[in-house]
Amino acid sequence: MERKLPVGIQGFVKLRTDNFLYVDKTEFIYRLVHNNVPYFLSRPRRFGKSLLLSTMKAYWEGKKELFHGLTIEKLEADNSDAWKEYPVFYFDFNGTNYNEEGALEKKLSFILQGLEDYYHVEKKENSLSERFVNLLKTANESTGLRCVVLVDEYDKPLLDVVDNIDIQEHNKSVFKGFFSNLKSCDEYIQFIFITGVSKFHKVSIFSDLNQLRDISLDEDYAALCGLTEKEIRESFEPEIKVLADKQEMTEDECLAALKKYYDGYHFHQTGEGVYNPYSVLSALFSKDFGAYWFETGTPTFLIKNIKESNFDLRKFTDRTIYTNESVLKDYTGDTLDIVPLLYQTGYLTIADFDRTDREYTLSFPNEEVKYGFMQSLMPEYVRNCGSGSGLDIFTLRRYVKNGDLDNIKNVLTGLFANITYTLDSDPFEHYFQAVIYLVFTLLGQYAICEMHTFNGRIDCVLESAKYIYIFEFKRDDSADSALKQIEDNGYALPFKADPRKLFKIGVAFNSEKRMLSDWKVCE
């Protein structure tokens, strides 16, 4: 009988009562709940934040039976104060479209109404913040216990309207009036835990709760969300065996593939790395490797901002994106600096750390993110490049494998002719370089961009089973000049003993006419 994998299951009660597999994270929860300070945690979407808060909710509600056999049951064994039924205020901002005016107020009112009914509080025509304060006091007085406040995806009402500044500022104002009460009502509150994808520094949750502890970059909680390699090996051994058999792999090869596609996230410079939990569980469930996290959607504003800010796409893979801790933790929403948002949303992760300068290096965490992100960017730079267009990566890949030089040229000519360049004030070179980078990166294992040799740096090398292609690109120059650079710098020498057929290709691009203007091949 197949075990039940919790793909998309965000409720702890359902997970435990319906016998889904659960990777035990309760030791982390034990540490958090016994340190009575307010917490904030930023993690990418689909990383287990909702399940984490649902587990905390069950703990604070005293549902001891759900924790049978888990670590926290043993840790609380001698604690006579454990498993009391605290009043829990659970604010879940998922599942609502906040683009409509007044949507946030309606959501808050709906949540408060449920709590007012539960605690038999008569609803008065008070403001949302006054109703909240009244509930905190009433719950504390009626139970004799202080309240627990759990806030899931607090930033969704802000990220949903990132392109509508008026609504976003309005929602920030609503939050300020509502959550500023957390500080003034401290005597009624036992525990606060807030999650989100991004930390909007100017939101009152962070400015008013000056004692809020942000554990997003805390080494002790680096593996709080996500799956470690140890957890995967210990918890999913039967499922890994099935996946390996289905993919005609050994179990070691299967584990290596899971690591290649879904591992690589680091939320502290020396903290334990984690895999994307949604993608791993989906792969084990579907018995196949896929871009599962990416299929749940990429924020369009991220793609748009990258293009509009003329961000050098080559930085994504050459490890030249540098930043510091304050940038990683904060995103104000009113800046063109998209690096912190790319980190917080999971498209970049910590790759290295310079202790002397306290400087982080960021990069893609894994191949699912790398190729999914590049695939999402491609239509922003090139029109009509989708599947079946003849200008798509899949078609080009076949031509590369078959040594079809004429059609390789035709695809590149068509791609450059369809560059979505519209503003004369924009540096056209950026678009030209971006398309070259995107095309050859998306060719995957066949391509090495800007390969270093003893005497220079090759623009691109493509390798298939039978062929090697050395490309040199020139803008507003000649293909002969490009070929001369290949020869003068000895770019072909590293492949001299290789039995595959080698093509040296010079490509010239005319920026005024915005087209591929010259192409020459030397074998």
Q: Which helix (H) or strand (E) holds 12?
A: helix 12-17
What Cα–Cα distance (Å) separates residue 187 from each residue in 145, 191, 506? Answer: 11, 11, 73
Do 304 and 396 sit in the same domain of this protein?
A: no
Task: Return the number of other C-beta atoms located less than 10 Å from residue 426's C-beta.
Answer: 13
pLDDT tens digits, 213-262: 999 999 999 999 999 999 999 999 999 999 999 999 999 999 999 999 99
Q: Specify the pLDDT at position 333.
A: 60
Please answer whether residues 219 and 268 qualify as being in contact, where contact means their C-beta atoms are separated by less than 8 angstroms. Answer: yes
Query: Is the confidence at residue 424, as pLDDT, over 60?
Result: no
Do 289 and 199 sit in the same domain of this protein?
A: no
C-alpha torsion 58→64→68→70, nearest 10: 50
User: Count of alpha carbons within 13 Å of 134, Cβ hemisphere only?
Assistant: 18
Do 386 and 506 sit in the same domain of this protein?
A: yes
How far apart CA 86 and CA 97 sit, in angstroms, is 31
Across 385-403, b (16+ Cβ under 10 Å) vs e yields beeeeebbbebbbebbeee
User: pLDDT grade, residue 449 (50/70/90)?
Assistant: low
Query: Is the confidence at residue 484, as pLDDT, over 90?
Result: yes
Structure token digits, residue 225: 């969300």
Q: What mean pLDDT comes out for the span 89-114?
A: 94
pLDDT tens digits, 251-288: 999 999 999 999 999 999 998 999 999 999 999 999 99
What is the CATH number for 88? 3.40.50
pLDDT tens digits, 382-419: 877 776 676 788 888 899 999 999 999 998 888 888 87
Q: Which residues, in sequence order, are bridge partners of residue 227?
A: 275
Q: What mean pLDDT comes out for the span 365-371?
A: 93
DSSP 3-state assignment of 507? strand
User: pLDDT grade, residue 322 (50/70/90)?
Assistant: very high
Q: Which residue would you say has higher pLDDT here, 302 or 242?
A: 242
Q: Specify the pLDDT at position 405.
A: 94
Do 388 and 329 sit in the same domain of this protein?
A: no
User: pLDDT grade, residue 454 (50/70/90)?
Assistant: very low
Q: Specify the pLDDT at position 181.
A: 83
Task: Return the number of other C-beta atoms located less than 10 Å from residue 513's C-beta.
Answer: 9
Structure token digits, residue 439: 């095309």
Query: Is the confidence at residue 455, as pLDDT, over 70?
Result: no
Q: Where a domain ends, among 295, 321, 353?
A: 295
Do 391 and 517 sit in the same domain of this protein?
A: yes
Do 243 and 192 sit in the same domain of this protein?
A: no
User: pLDDT grade, residue 312 (50/70/90)?
Assistant: confident
Q: Which range is least confidently modeled, 146-160, 422-436, 461-475, 483-497?
A: 422-436
pLDDT tens digits, 84-94: 999 999 999 99
Query: Is the confidence at residue 111, as pLDDT, over 70?
Result: yes
Please answer whether residues 38 and 193 qualify as being in contact, where contact means their C-beta atoms are separated by less than 8 angstroms. Answer: yes
Do 175 and 48 sit in the same domain of this protein?
A: yes
Does 453 reside within a domain? yes
Q: Where a domain ends, among 338, 367, 396?
A: 367
Please answer whether residues 302 and 71 qualify as being in contact, where contact means their C-beta atoms are separated by less than 8 angstroms. Answer: no
How far apart CA 154 and CA 225 sit, in angstroms, is 17
Q: Which residue would you say has higher pLDDT here, 464 or 255?
A: 255
Does 257 reside within a domain? yes
Domain containing 457 equals 382-522
What Cα–Cα distance (Å) separates residue 509 from each residue in 16, 47, 123, 312, 503? Answer: 61, 43, 69, 19, 19
Do 50 and 77 sit in the same domain of this protein?
A: yes
Q: Specify the pLDDT at position 416.
A: 81
Query: Is the confidence at residue 451, as pLDDT, over 60?
Result: no
Please answer whether residues 456 and 447 qualify as being in contact, where contact means their C-beta atoms are separated by less than 8 angstroms. Answer: no
Please answer whether residues 132 and 178 qualify as being in contact, where contact means their C-beta atoms are separated by less than 8 angstroms. Answer: yes
Does 396 reside within a domain? yes
User: pLDDT grade, residue 37 (50/70/90)?
Assistant: confident
Does 375 reside within a domain? no
Does 374 reside within a domain? no
How far apart CA 346 and CA 322 sit, in angstroms, is 16
User: pLDDT grade, residue 304 (50/70/90)?
Assistant: confident
Query: What DSSP string describes 35-92?
Result: S-S-EEEE--TTSSHHHHHHHHHHHHTT-GGGGTTSHHHHHTTT-TTTT----EEEEE
Q: What mean pLDDT comes out for the span 488-507?
A: 92
Please answer whether residues 205 and 172 qualify as being in contact, where contact means their C-beta atoms are separated by less than 8 angstroms. Answer: no
Does 165 reside within a domain? yes
User: pLDDT grade, residue 425 (50/70/90)?
Assistant: very low
Do 342 and 213 sit in the same domain of this protein?
A: no
Structure token digits, residue 458: 């090759």
Q: Which residue would you say has higher pLDDT here, 204 or 60?
A: 60
Does 360 reside within a domain? yes
How far apart CA 398 and CA 176 sit, in angstroms, is 56
Does 441 reside within a domain? yes
For the chain, what is the largest distance between any 2 Cα atoms, rounded to a whole number of angstroms? 85
What is the CATH number for 447? 3.40.1350
Q: Count the domains in the chain.
A: 4
Question: In 3D, which of 393, 404, 390 has the Cα closest to residue 466?
Answer: 404
Do 201 and 148 sit in the same domain of this protein?
A: yes
Question: In 3D, which of 179, 82, 67 has the Cα closest to residue 133?
Answer: 179
Mean pLDDT of all residues in the chain?
88
Q: What percent of the chain has pLDDT over 70?
A: 92
Query: Is the confidence at residue 196, as pLDDT, over 80?
Result: yes
Q: How is the beta sheet containing 467-475 ordered, strand by strand? A: 447-453, 456-463, 467-475, 501-510, 515-522
Please answer whether residues 6 and 20 qualify as being in contact, where contact means their C-beta atoms are separated by less than 8 angstroms. Answer: yes
pLDDT tens digits, 329-348: 876 665 657 888 899 999 99
Task: Return the number of other C-beta atoms located less than 10 Å from residue 209's C-beta.
Answer: 19
Q: What percent of the chain has pLDDT over 90?
A: 58
Q: Where a domain ends, among 189, 221, 253?
A: 221
Do 199 and 317 sit in the same domain of this protein?
A: no
Question: In 3D, which of 348, 331, 373 has the Cα closest to residue 158?
Answer: 331
Q: Which residue would you say has higher pLDDT here, 123 or 190?
A: 190
How far apart CA 337 and CA 236 sit, in angstroms, is 40
Do 117 and 214 sit in the same domain of this protein?
A: yes
Q: Which residue would you say has higher pLDDT here, 430 or 253?
A: 253
